[in-house]
Amino acid sequence: MSILLEVIATTVADARIAAQAGADRIELVTAMGEGGLTPSVGLIEAVVAAVRIPVNVIVRPHSRSFVYDADDYAVMLRDVRAVKAAGANGIVIGMLNADSAIDREGLARAIDAADGLAITFHRAFDETRDLREALDVLLGFDVVTNVLTSGGKPSVLHAEVAIRELVQQAGGSHCTVLAGAGLTVDAVAGFVSRTAVEAVHFGSGARVGDQGLAPIDTEKVAQVRALLNAIPSAAPRG
């Protein structure tokens, strides 16, 4: 099967365009300029109703840090339950300790609140002190099905070695390395071939003029879909 394509949506129109152009899954966010924050319940419900592909929703209460206090967790757990009630496929979440390691206790609480939703650990992963150690932690949580990463670099295109190593480390597990940040139409095919990733994530690179606040570009998404379809892959999409 072909490589999975996830596209960020910030509006219902984004989600419709991405789905029609060949995206396999939506990551729904608001405040894309801040790296993505939790969208409103109304937006989640409307997007879930508008598309037939899975919708994963970011749960991130603010952009100050990935180290959260008790009040932050109270908000996040309420949001996780609201995302489930709104009919989404999964949540996209991440949390760290003060020592830049994954907050296992916080993740476990989010998983409990998610009550069966798919879990993607987001790019808080890239701020951990050791990516391989962090992936080992995530592999210990059976319900974490994706880790979104740029290989610890601002652009994933500058982290091919790290991505390839993470893909090998996760090989055969329940967790898929979802490569994102900095991917472009021109670079994606070579990147996928060299790293052996099974899933890619597009934000600005799928938009008009590669601008995060611009609408999704139907042609770009369709081009990426066609390029990914042309790459042989024995891995099932999930």
Q: What is the pTM of this model?
A: 0.95
Question: What is residue 56's predicted lDDT score, i.e. its pLDDT?
Answer: 98
- Taking residue 177's Cβ as centre, other Cβ atoms within 10 Å add up to 27
Residue 225 within a domain: yes
Q: Identity (one letter) of the amino acid at 114? A: A
Distance CA 204, CA 211 (A): 5
Kindly tell me if the per-residue pLDDT of 1 is higher than 60: no
What confidence category does residue 235 fall into, taking pLDDT thresholds of 50, 70 and 90?
A: very low
- Rounded Cα distance between 76 and 68, Å, is 10
Domain that holds residue 82: 4-229
234 inside domain: no
* Inter-CA distances, 79 with 14, 26, 44, 59, Å: 22, 18, 11, 7
How confident is the prediction for the chain on average, in pLDDT?
Answer: 95
Question: Does any domain span residue 238?
Answer: no
Question: Other CB atoms closer than 10 Å to residue 71's CB: what's the count?
Answer: 9
Instruction: Write the pLDDT tens digit of every residue in 169-225.
Output: 999 999 999 999 999 999 999 999 999 999 999 999 999 998 888 999 999 999 999
The verdict on residue 176 lying in a domain is yes
Our count of domains for the chain comes to: 1
Query: Using CA atoms, how far apart are residues 180 and 147, in angstroms rounded to an integer?
Result: 10
The torsion region of residue 19 among left (phi > 0), alpha (psi -120 to 50) and beta comes to alpha
* Alpha carbons 59 and 228: distance in angstroms, whole number: 28
- Position 114 in a domain: yes
Query: Which pLDDT score is estimated for 237?
Result: 40
- Asked whether 110 and 77 are in contact (CB, 8 A), the reply is yes
Contact 145, 119 (CB under 8 A): yes
Residue 236 lies inside a defined structural domain of this protein = no
Residue type, 98: A
- Tens of pLDDT, residues 122-173: 999 999 999 999 999 999 999 999 999 999 999 999 999 999 999 999 999 9
Provide the percentage of residues in the chain whose pLDDT is more than 90. 92
Distance CA 154, CA 30 (A): 20
The residue type found at 149 is: T
Q: How far is it, in rounded angstroms, from Cα 86 to Cα 90?
A: 11
For the domain that residue 60 is a member of, what is the CATH number? 3.20.20.380
Whether residue 234 is predicted with pLDDT greater than 70 in this model: the reply is no
- Let me know if residue 205 belongs to a domain: yes
Q: Average pLDDT in the 223-234 region?
A: 86
